[in-house]
Amino acid sequence: MNSNNNILVKLNNAGFRQSEKWLVEGVSLTVEKGKIVTLIGPNGSGKSTTAKIALGIYKNIEGSVEKYTTKVGYVPQKISIDWTLPIRVYDFMLLTETIEDSAIDEALSLTGVIHLKNKNLGSLSGGEFQRVLIARAISKKPELLVLDEPVQGVDYTGEIALYELIKKISDTLNCGILLISHDLHMVMTATDHVVCLNGHVCCSGSPIDVAKNNEYKALFGEKASQILTTYEHKHDHVHSDEGEIKKN
Amino acid sequence: MFDDFFIRALVAGIGIAFVTGPLGCFVVWRRLSYFGDTLAHSALLGVTMAYTFDLNIAISVFLISSVIALILIQLQKKTNLPGDALLGLLAHSSLAVGLVVIGFLTFIRFDIMGLLFGDILAVTTDDLFVIWTGGALILIVLKLIWKPLLASTVNYELAEAEGLNPDRAKAIFTILMAAVIAISIKMVGLLLITGMLIIPAAMARNISDSPQKMVLFSIIGGLLSVILGLYSSLEFNTSSGPSIIAAALILFILSLFKIKQSIKLKN
């Protein structure tokens, strides 16, 4: 079946319907080792649904999902934890897999929350909790990482650092990443493939192709398209102080 | 050694506390106290079945409780009624049917009070065997499904996404609930079993900061409740179930002081 050994998960014309309403339909995409695939689209366009289809959380789907790995790390968009359960950050790190203490410490240090290791999960702020979620997902050294808006609630400098971390993880672990992000700079600089959703795949391809796509412009507006194209522009030249353009 | 009825009751109660401790934590975490109540109410039907067909009470109760749990799952899928309404429906109708059937069984003398509130005089050496082997099996199975069950208690989608099969863990846990009710019904009584599950766990919640600690304290709380409760039951000639639950309540009240302290420390 798997002609390409690098494929981790493949969606073939996948869709999901909840009480007669299509949340998303006709999505085809492939996540390969070492590659970052980003889903973008407006609210309610089916980004999280697509991620959940890829993860196998939704069972009665249209189309098909081929999954070639069981080592999965997931950062969900919304997580509500019931505080009747006393649980420390440390316990949470061990939730789905038994990992060594050194790996736990390493992951918590990478996301900058090692000092919270013995804190109760309920006492964390939104941004701190988000960092713990990312640390948990990467500490198990997964082959496939699914990140659903992983930096929501994180402060601006932290956001950049975490995106750099995600890029680094994809390179060092050679894992495939399915990312949902609103950060178009991240989409531009680190992503290999962009899928633009609006209930269906409205366009997909390399970031620059998508930015130039008319449907993308119609969905996000001219400005968003400019952000992406400007961004690529930035890579082939630098501006001197006088505004003179210097080729790289 | 087991000739003395009181020693038998003590050994039985200790065995039960080892099992209700960890299971009770999950009942509290997963908000299943009313579910536990429903299974316990349906146990009366199991007891009448045991008398009618001359079966072992624990096995008969286990079977009926499991069937009620299955019916509940089916009703949840097929009707639009909310979960608590379905639980109430099953709890009270199975209790009612059980009592009606008892009315028909005029040839057997029933000790209704003993069934509802527990009777330490009723514990036989056979019961000890059922409680300890059954209890050990329940704990082994719980240990095996601990990770997926805990993970899906924290977050279902996380557990499902990372390949832990939470649905299977939940189904197995339901069976364990039926089993724990089956082994503790004689001792604690069907109206008070849920108390034995919840109160030590609630006490443990007040003094723990991790799931493992809560399980440990819940077991210790259950053991103390059984020992204190049974001695006072002997002393004051009260039913065993209420005495055990009252002892658990006292421990719970004591644990509240610990919360007060930790709140003071924070301020």
Question: Considering Cα of B39, then B40, then B44, then B47, what sign does the dihedral take?
Answer: positive
Residue B178 in domain: yes
Say how many residues make up chain A: 248
| Domain region containing B18 | 5-192
Residue B95 in domain: yes
Residue B76 in domain: yes
Residue B165 in domain: yes
pLDDT score of A101: 93
Question: Considering Cα of A91, then A86, then B132, then B38, what sign does the dihedral take?
Answer: negative
Strand order in A176-180's β-sheet?
A: A72-75, A144-148, A176-180, A36-40, A193-197, A201-205
Would you write out chain A's pLDDT as a tens digit for each of its 248 residues? 455 678 999 999 999 988 788 888 889 999 999 899 999 888 888 999 999 999 999 988 988 999 898 899 999 987 877 778 899 999 999 999 899 999 999 999 989 999 999 999 888 888 899 999 999 999 989 999 999 999 888 888 888 888 888 888 888 888 999 999 877 777 777 788 999 888 888 888 888 888 777 777 777 777 666 666 555 544 444 545 555 555 54
Rounded to 5 degrees, what are φ and ψ at B163?
75, 30
B143: left (phi over 0), alpha (psi -120 to 50) or beta: alpha
Closest CA to B46 of B187, B185, B197: B185
Residues of A in contact with B211 (CB under 8 A): 85-87, 91
How far B5 CA lies from chain A's nearest CA (Å)? Answer: 38
Residue B152 in domain: yes
Residue B266 has pLDDT above 90, yes or no: no
If one counts the domains in chain B, the total is 1
Distance CA A72, CA A138 (A): 9
Rounded to 5 degrees, what are φ and ψ at B104?
-75, -30
Q: What is the ipTM of this complex?
A: 0.84
Residue B254 in domain: no
How far A118 CA lies from chain B's nearest CA (Å)? Answer: 9
pTM beyond cutoff 0.90: no
Domain with B76 in it: what CATH number? 1.10.3470.10
Distance CA A35, CA A37 (A): 6
Residue B264 in domain: no
A36: left (phi over 0), alpha (psi -120 to 50) or beta: beta
Q: Find the residue in A nearest to B162 (Cα).
A: A72
Q: Find the residue in B nearest to A91 (Cα).
A: B210
pLDDT score of B219: 97
Residue B197 in domain: no
The encoded tokens of residue A160 equal 């950049």
The encoded tokens of residue A229 equal 């194209």
Residues of A in contact with B151 (CB under 8 A): 95-96
Closest CB to A70 among B31, B154, B163: B163
Residue with tokens 């036989």: B124
